[in-house]
Chains A and B, each alone.
Chain A
Amino acid sequence: MMKEIEELFRNINLAKEVMELSGENPYDCYQCGTCSASCPFIEEMDLKPDEVIRYVILNRKEVLKSKTIWICASCFECAERCPRDINITKLMEALRQIILRKNVDHTEIEKIGEEEKRTIPQIAFVSLFRKNVG
């Protein structure tokens, strides 16, 4: 899957795609790290949100294989605090969408267990499907 992703997106320009999808400009970022300092999931991430932005600018496709873009739960904390008014939440969504729109799902729905289905609130399922399945 890892190799496939790099292969699949060899010819795209990340910054351009992200700008189109999110309406946000990664070049506005001055790498202050406020987004990363605000992110409640930072300890679970491999790339920090400010690094994700840098990777996008540098067109480094590894970012599409990072855990970070899937761990981001769209909490809008970074977007609320960015001094350059970049909506990083939308930028993360754009990166997920780049992958999902190629029909590469992140979550295998079949693997969700019976107990989960019985106990977890519906809003969790609908959001998981919206975020992780194309």
Chain B
Amino acid sequence: MKKLLYFPGCTLKTYAKNLEATAIAIAREFGYDLVEMDDWNCCGVVASLTEDDLMHHLAPLRNLIRVQDAGEKEVLVICDMCYNTLKQTNLRVKKNKEDLEKLNSFMDEENDYRCEVEVVHFLEFLKNKVGFEKIKKAVKKALKGIRIMPYYGCMLLRPREVSVDDPEDPFILSELLKILGAEVVEVPYRIECCGSYHTIDMKEVVSRRSYVISMQGIRRGADAIALSCPLCHFNLDRRGKDAEKIYENYRQIPVFYYTQLMAISLGLDIDLCGFEKHAVDPRKLLEERGII
């Protein structure tokens, strides 16, 4: 087994345990042992966007230094928001020597950051390290007869410098879903924001987002949505379910992490998927289509 360091972040330890568990199991299938990095801290979730605000780059940078201290050149990230934040900080200090010096001299206990670490999203790992061809060969149960709408949201794609694919026309998720045997339903809103943190104090705004996004897929015949980010998951699944109370006759379709769909088609333990925690339980659909 080849060891790979990964950064979990807060949400993988709480709401999205199933995302973490399925990702670890998938990596293991292909000979990689995902090892949780020591002493990680919350990345801050959103990138600092003002010129003078270096302070909020400290949290991501500390994590990058821990990776460096572990003697690694790469850190895998599974949560899209953490990925985006860690990568934006990494790019800023790589591009801006002055900022890097300031941050390095501000931290007393940490070693200086040498800018040698790369931040890699789990999807990029699957595509570039494992390879989609290899995944195709490992499929035990093709996701036949199920039409899935890939959804990217923001953090995998923007800003452009951190994107895992073409930010305006991404295909990495649909490529993967096709390999698993699913039929893919592409919609323009696959790259639009789910409503993000407004889910706390503007729930209805987020329910409307969820409805509009899901409806584009439903109108084109989608049975389910596949995505990567835990906050997108909560918003489309839970706030989508809430939208049933706003829009007459609206039924939210199941929302999967792509890792859950992979786990099923690779024949891994279905309990890892934690489907019982979803607002819309996807098992009914999977049973109906004879997949589980």
Contacts and interface: CB of A to CB of B under 8 A. Distances in A.
B234 interface: yes
Given A77-B192, A124-B231, 15 more contacts: A21-B51, A22-B49, A40-B193, A40-B209, A44-B205, A74-B196, A75-B154, A76-B159, A97-B53, A107-B200, A122-B14, A122-B42, A123-B45, A124-B196, A126-B45
B249 interface: no
B11 interface: yes
7 contacts: A20-B52, A77-B191, A90-B50, A123-B82, A126-B45, A127-B81, A131-B197
Interface in B97-139: none
A80 B168 contact: yes
Contacts of A127: 45-46, 81, 196-197
Contact of B10 (A23, A111, A119, A122): A122
A89 B9 CA distance: 25
Nearest to B82: A123
Interface in B171-210: 189, 191-193, 195-202, 205, 209
B15 A112 contact: no
Contacts of A111: 201
A119 B238 contact: yes
Nearest to A23: B51
B99 to A, nearest CB: 12
A12 interface: no
Contacts of B209: 40
Interface residues of A, number: 37
A79 B167 CA distance: 12
A73 B195 contact: yes
Nearest to B230: A121
A41 B16 contact: no
Interface in B17-48: 42, 44-46
The A interface is mostly helix, strand or loop, or mixed, namely helix
Nearest to A122: B10
A41 B194 CA distance: 10
B262 to A, nearest CB: 21
A73 B51 contact: no
Interface centre among B44, B45, B160, B202 (most CB of A within 10 A): B45
Interface centre among A23, A41, A111, A122 (most CB of B within 10 A): A122
Given A21-B50, A21-B51, A124-B197, A76 B158 contact: yes
A121 B196 contact: no
B174 to A, nearest CB: 20
A104 to B, nearest CB: 16
Nearest to B213: A40
A120 B230 contact: no
B86 interface: no
A126 B10 contact: yes
A91 to B, nearest CB: 9
A125 B200 contact: yes
A93 B44 contact: no
A8 interface: no
